[in-house]
Amino acid sequence: MTRPSGPYLRGQRIDPTAITGAEQIADLVDNAFLAYNAGRLREGCQLFTTRMLQPDTTVGMSLTGAMTPAGIGMSCLIPLMEAGFVDWIISTGANLYHDAHFALGLALHRGRHDADDVELREKGVVRIYDIFFDYNVLLSTDAFVREVSARPEFQRAMSSAEYHYLLGGYLREREAALGLSKRSVLSTAYELAVPIYTSSPGDSSIGMNVAEQALAGSQLRFDVSADVNETAAIVLEAKRTGGKSGVLIAGGGSPKNFILQTEPQIQEVLGIDERGHDYFLQMTDARPDVGGLSGATPNEAVSWGKIDPDQLPGTVVVYADNTITLPLLTAYALQRVPPRPVKRLYDRREAMMERLVTEYRAALAFRDQRADDAVGDRGGR
């Protein structure tokens, strides 16, 4: 007896062609990544290229895990920024600190994850899983951060994007002096005016060195409220100029929350009428069932107003190691999509903030008027 299958058997048949070794990565992903998390990665690559990289979409990226020490900054993040595929970033401070090593010409080496850490300590070698580097790499980078941060233009309160932009300019100068190029995410972001924020400015060696200078009288302070409002302004600008907002989430943690909280900040706190991010692509090894934000699904984010509920078909979660997924996603995108114009959002921060403030004041006035009307209604009874 034949039973009607409804919509369940309408998906493309699993019928891949044999791999020859001559395939481009994008063709390999489309042809052979058919099920399980390979299937989710294929869906993520296709979401990124066919929808998130449309000209009217502003793409924000969050970054956690020790990605830059593994070379992901040079292999993936810089090409994505240069192609106009990532417009703004929220990163852990550690990724930005370790990124600076490369601009300073300092060496990190492939090592072993099962090395004797007591012996490494005795030899002055620092280990990040299977990455080794000399302890002096840290001391040299610390000295550079302190030297630069003590300069006059840093002696004020500023958003983390302002700080990273200024630091990136000095890293670009050091790269040029050393005859290096395209080594640092921070220096590339400076050149392309890609704003980079960190959700926890004190939670890294950059923050530690800035804190040391505060004890010596430095006036440099990270303005975390400016970070909250500037990132919300970027998202609001994307929507109000007729475009959409997409988030590319590599890992989880605080940067994931910070990039998603832009929408509750706009809607819940500022009272501005908005709907949530349009596209959501997360690549993570975190599970959703333990209740942590790192593994929280886009469906759950809808309940917070972080994701537009009408856009849930434009969401994908890939459960995999980002040292695998990011190179594949980058290659896929570069093979499938021509470069987009760089949006240079850092240069537009003041104008975007003006729009946010204007809409906030209008929403506040409307809210106050409704409160006055409610008081009047009660008085009439």
Per the residue annotation, which of 244, 256, 306, 343 is the catalytic one?
Answer: 306
Q: What is the structure's pLDDT at 366?
A: 84
pLDDT single digits (tens) 25-60: 999 999 999 999 999 999 999 999 999 999 999 999
Cβ neighbours of residue 16 under 8 Å, at least 6 residues apart?
Answer: 31, 32, 34
Q: Give tens-digit pLDDT for 316-361.
A: 999 999 999 999 999 999 999 999 999 999 999 999 999 999 999 9
Residue 372, pLDDT > 90, answer no
pLDDT value at residue 369: 74
The answer to whether residue 307 scores a pLDDT higher than 70 is no
Q: Please report the pLDDT score of residue 29 as a whole number.
A: 97
pLDDT of amino acid 378: 60
pLDDT in tens, 162-216: 999 999 999 999 999 999 999 999 999 999 999 999 999 999 999 999 999 999 9
- Evaluate if pTM is beyond 0.85: yes
From CA 234, how far away is CA 290, in angstroms rounded?
31
| Cα–Cα dist 371/99, whole Å | 50
Sign of CA dihedral 199, 142, 219, 215: positive
Does residue 311 register a pLDDT over 60? no
The fourth-level CATH superfamily of domain 25-374 is Deoxyhypusine synthase (3.40.910.10)
Q: Within its chain, how far is the Cα of 139 from the centroid?
A: 27
pLDDT given at position 292: 56
CA angle 370, 363, 61 (to 5 degrees): 145
Q: Are 162 and 49 in contact (CB under 8 A)?
A: no
306 tagged catalytic: yes
Phi-psi region of 273 (alpha: psi -120 to 50; beta: other; left: phi over 0): beta
pLDDT, position 289: 62
- Edge-to-edge strands, sheet with 57-63: 196-197, 88-91, 57-63, 244-250, 279-284, 315-319
Residue 233: pLDDT band (50, 70, 90) is: very high
| Model pLDDT, residue 367 | 83
pLDDT at 113 over 80: yes
The pLDDT value given to residue 285? 82
% of the chain at pLDDT higher than 70 = 89
Task: Share the mean pLDDT of the chain.
Answer: 91
Predicted confidence at residue 11, as pLDDT, reads 83
Phi-psi category of residue 23: left, alpha or beta, with phi > 0 → left and psi -120 to 50 → alpha = beta
Q: What is the pLDDT of residue 3?
A: 72
Say what the pLDDT of residue 313 is.
Answer: 63
Q: Residue 150: is its pLDDT beyond 90?
A: yes
d(CA 230, CA 106): 33
The pLDDT value given to residue 140: 98
Residue 136 or 287, more confident = 136
Task: Give dist(CA 333, CA 351) in Å, integer.
Answer: 30
Does residue 328 contact residue 45 with C-beta atoms inside 8 Å? Answer: yes
The residue extents of the domains of the chain are: 25-374
Helix (H) or strand (E) holding 244: strand 244-250
Across 95-109, 142-156, 367-381, least confident range: 367-381
- pLDDT reported for residue 205: 96
Total residues found in the chain within this entry: 381
